[in-house]
Structure 1
Amino acid sequence: MATERVGGMAMMLGGALSSQVGAATAALAFPVIGPAGVVAVRQWVAGAVLLAAGRPRLRSFTGREWRPVLALALVFATMNLSLYTAIDRLGLGLAVTLEFLGPIAVALAGSRRLVDVICALIAAPAAIVLARPQASTDYLGIGLALLAATCWACYILLNRTVGERLPGAQGSAAAALISALVYVPVGLVVLVLHPPTPYSLGEALAAGVLSSAIPFLVDLFALRRVPTQFFGLFMSVNPVLAALVGFVVLGQRLAWLDWAAIVVVAGAMVVASVGSWAFGTRSRSRPSDR
């Protein structure tokens, strides 16, 4: 239904904006507690919030339900640490642009419509322009951003599976709880070695709510309204938002070529959105569709 698609798109846009504002807020705390410290606090906040929201009945989970939950927990932990370390080394816009290659890969692999493939193929070179090598290129940062991209692709697929096998937000809540527990020893060591200030701790806590709790819940419910490949294509809005938020919050400026690439990415997203309505893309997939 068109109403479901509009609702799903609004959810995805709100979740993407929340995620980028949260990432910029987290970057403000990097000089004091570092990316690992921020990620630890973020995971704790996300675990607490999602545990309260999802109320997972862990004892009733079957092996078939636990497997994607555990995989999603691993993805959460790896994606967040690799992305935040990349942001610290590359800046918000470049790191998020490279991470966006994950959803592009999902779109190419899962699409059954030519328009989706064309839009993905248009957006991908634009992302490469934004990440073009320069004299000061940090290759370790690029590698970490690409690891985050791989994790994001896995996150899209796993979150869909978790949403199909477990009701409500139980699966995401359980995965966030496990990831938070994994970061307890890591976070304690980092925070003891680098004592946080009240401001840095507040920034890390805000990042946990904006970049973890809100997007996790939004993505879970949005993926029940729109197809997986369309979700991946619509997430092309993230490089645009990252560049804008990076400029407004962190003062990170971009060259005209970077802005041109951003316009191309946004245009591909708009075409994909219109194409989804015009061709009557189904709002949700079923086991028989695979």
Structure 2
Amino acid sequence: MPAPGLVIGGVVGLQGGAALTTRLYPAVGPAGVVSLRLLIAAVVLIALWRPGLRWDKTTWAVLIGAGTLLAVHHLSYYEAVDRLPLGAATTVEFTGPFLIAAVGSRRAADLLWACLAATGVVLLSATGSRLDAEGLGFAALAGCCWGGYILVGKRLADRIPDGRGLALAVSWGALLSLPYGIAQAGTRLFAPATLALAAAVAILSSVLPYSFQLEALRRLSPRVFGVLTSLEPAIGALIGLLLLDQHLTVPQWLGVTAVALASIGATRSDRGRQRDDADTDAVRSPATTPDP
């Protein structure tokens, strides 16, 4: 599958899983959802990849960093989803990847797209009583962690060329989040009905998306990966509407649209930059023919 298809498939899985987790909130709460999701995903990935423990210190540092960012991202994101409509929470969270996509660019057009995306986030954040400050804070923290994970995940994908690194990173994230889940849900975490639904969530929103994304990160730069995740806010809003009956206001839909347009523009700008770089390289390294 082409790398862009892997990224979009991962986004759909993540948002679909986030919608499904709302059925678990009454039983175990957001922290319980995160603990079960990461724990089950870790068991599945360990069984699939059987990673060893013989890695150098630098690789272990990358593994622990990736797992920590995953755990904090999940805890903060699901706390945000518990307080905000799915589309709004995802749009605020998306600012992290978008900043990764924009950092380092010297094209004026990219600044325009960044400003348009920021305008969209403001529209989402400043409308409706449902968008409480605590939820927005959790969503912003999730965005910071997701942006950090893109950078660390790229290093992880480069250092370990298969799913063993992901299995260990998710396992570490599960260990970090489990105490919070137990504190919030107690023995309800291990009820059979809860475990069955949590297993579906783990496969849909952790095992498949993170495997897709790690493979995509092997083929793409963090900047391009951040651009390709641009449709996540719109997909989140659409899934929230279809599956959760979460109706956004007109200004909120304008905010989602602004972020999506900024993402499309940034993608086109990135393609133009790549063509310019290729043309420059061609001029600097002209083809030569052997002497007769």
- TM-score tier, shorter chain, comes to 0.7 to 0.9
Deviates most, 62-71 or 117-126: 117-126
Over 3 Å counting, the alpha-carbon distance change for 1:74 and 1:15 in structure 2 is same
Query: 1:74-128, CA deviations, whole angstroms, 9 ceiling, x for partnerless residues?
Result: 1111110111011101121221111111112212223354444432332221122
1:18-37 correspondence to structure 2 within 5 Å: 18-37=13-32
The equivalent position to 2:166 in structure 1, one of 169, 172, 176, is: 172
Hey, what does 1:46 align to over in structure 2?
Answer: 41
1:13-162 correspondence to structure 2 within 5 Å: 13-59=8-54, 61-162=55-156
Hey, what does 2:220 align to over in structure 1?
Answer: 226
Shift >6 Å, 4+ stretches: none
SS in 2 for 1:110: coil
SS in 1 for 2:202: helix
- Amino acid paired to 1:21: G
Hey, what does 2:285 align to over in structure 1?
Answer: none
Over 3 Å counting, the alpha-carbon distance change for 1:223 and 1:113 in structure 2 is farther
Query: 1:249-287, CA deviations, whole angstroms, 9 ceiling, x for partnerless residues?
Result: 11100122222222222222223333333443689xxxx
Larger Rg: 2
- Amino acid paired to 1:132: A
CA RMSD of aligned residues (A): 2.3
TM-score, normalisation: structure 2: 0.86
CA contact (8 A) 2:83 2:131 kept: no
Matched, 1:243 2:237: yes
SS in 1 for 2:51: coil
Q: Residue 162 of structure 1: CA displacement?
A: 0.9
Matched, 1:265 2:259: yes
- Distance in 1 separating the partners of 2:248 and 2:190: 31
- Distance in 1 separating the partners of 2:20 and 2:37: 11
- Distance in 2 separating the partners of 1:76 and 1:125: 27
CA contact (8 A) 2:40 2:202 kept: yes
SS in 2 for 1:58: coil
- Amino acid paired to 1:84: Y
Over 3 Å counting, the alpha-carbon distance change for 1:169 and 1:197 in structure 2 is closer
Gaps of 5+ in 2: 279-292
- Distance in 1 separating the partners of 2:111 and 2:49: 35
- Distance in 2 separating the partners of 1:99 and 1:71: 19
Gaps of 5+ in 1: 1-5, 284-290
Between the aligned residues of both structures, percent identity stands at 35
- Distance in 1 separating the partners of 2:227 and 2:125: 19
TM-score, normalisation: structure 1: 0.87
- Distance in 2 separating the partners of 1:98 and 1:44: 26
Q: Residue 135 of structure 1: CA displacement?
A: 4.1
Q: Residue 136 of structure 1: CA displacement?
A: 4.8
For this pair of structures, how many residues does the alignment match? 277
- Distance in 2 separating the partners of 1:128 and 1:54: 43
CA contact (8 A) 2:182 2:189 kept: no
- Distance in 2 separating the partners of 1:145 and 1:12: 21
SS in 2 for 1:89: coil
CA contact (8 A) 1:230 1:272 kept: no
